[in-house]
């Protein structure tokens, strides 16, 4: 069973629901669009009555008692995000990657071949066989400690934070066959 998201970051809050919802005002519910902290799952949340969520607020969505969220409507795709949520998405993902840097450094330390012809490191934007070989050689000497260490030991590598953010955005938009960081 896959691990579920425990917390999410609010990307946008619509206190009166979606503008295209044709139901009468008294039947509409508040909606929050959010992204899961661990697996970058895009979610549509329904807050409790009277709760006003601030964009970029972290909310608990796990199985226990939720203070702010009544229920989760389900996963959503990037094309269903509001303009505000789309604007916040890259910024929030960048913050999450920076906050959990060790998880992504671990990816560079343990990434394995996916097939005889393709290595998972090559799925990172801007990485080819040359970067892949340099990373593998450097990590065999000593595992990377952080992104700064990775950049110091592997010459001409693109900014690890930015390329991981680009990969996550690409996975979220459905452009990628293989998922490295986003909930499968």
Domain 100-172 of CATH type 1.10.150.280: yes
Secondary structure (H, E, C), 86-130: HHHHHHHHHHHHHHCHHHHHHHHHHCCECCCCCEHHHHCCCCCHH
Hey, is 145 helix, strand or coil? Answer: coil
Cβ atoms within 10 Å, residue 11: 23
Classify each residue of 83-97 as buried b or exposed e, where b means 16 or more C-beta atoms within 10 Å of its C-beta.
Answer: eebeebbeebbbebb
Residue 1's pLDDT band, with cuts at 50, 70 and 90, is very low
Domain ranges of the chain: 7-86, 100-172
- Indicate if the alpha-carbon torsion angle 128, 131, 133, 136 is positive or negative: negative
Residue 4's pLDDT band, with cuts at 50, 70 and 90, is confident
Given a cut of 50, is residue 125 above it in pLDDT? Answer: yes
pLDDT of res. 26: 72
Hey, is 7 helix, strand or coil? Answer: strand
pLDDT of res. 184: 60
Given a cut of 70, is residue 126 above it in pLDDT? Answer: yes
Q: Which residue has the tokens 């595992």?
A: 143
Contact criterion met (CB below 8 Å) for 81 and 11: yes
Residue 155's pLDDT band, with cuts at 50, 70 and 90, is confident
How far apart are the C-alpha atoms of 104 and 24, rounded to whole Å? Answer: 46
For residue 19 the two structure tokens come to 């503008």
pLDDT digits (tens, 9 = 90+) for 52-82: 999 999 999 998 899 999 999 999 999 999 9
How far apart are the C-alpha atoms of 23 and 157, rounded to whole Å? Answer: 52
Identify the architecture of domain 7-86 in CATH: Beta Barrel (2.40)
Cβ atoms within 10 Å, residue 74: 10
């Amino acid at each position: 069973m896959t691990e579920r998201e425990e917390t999410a970051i609010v990307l946008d809050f619509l206190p009166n629901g979606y503008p295209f919802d044709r139901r009468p005002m008294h039947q509409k519910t508040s909606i929050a669009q959010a992204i899961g902290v661990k697996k970058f799952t895009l979610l549509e949340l329904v807050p409790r009555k009277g709760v006003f969520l601030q964009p970029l607020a972290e909310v608990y969505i796990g199985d226990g008692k939720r203070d702010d969220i009544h229920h989760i409507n389900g996963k959503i795709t990037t094309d269903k995000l509001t303009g505000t949520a789309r604007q916040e998405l890259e910024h929030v993902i960048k913050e999450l990657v920076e906050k959990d840097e060790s998880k992504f450094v671990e990816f560079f330390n343990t990434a394995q071949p996916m097939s005889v012809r393709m290595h998972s490191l090559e799925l990172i934007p801007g990485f080819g066989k040359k970067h892949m070989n340099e990373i593998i050689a450097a990590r065999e000497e000593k595992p990377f400690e952080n992104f700064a260490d990775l950049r110091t030991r592997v010459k001409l590598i693109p900014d690890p934070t930015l390329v991981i953010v680009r990969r996550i955005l690409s996975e979220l938009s459905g452009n990628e066959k293989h998922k490295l960081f986003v909930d499968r």
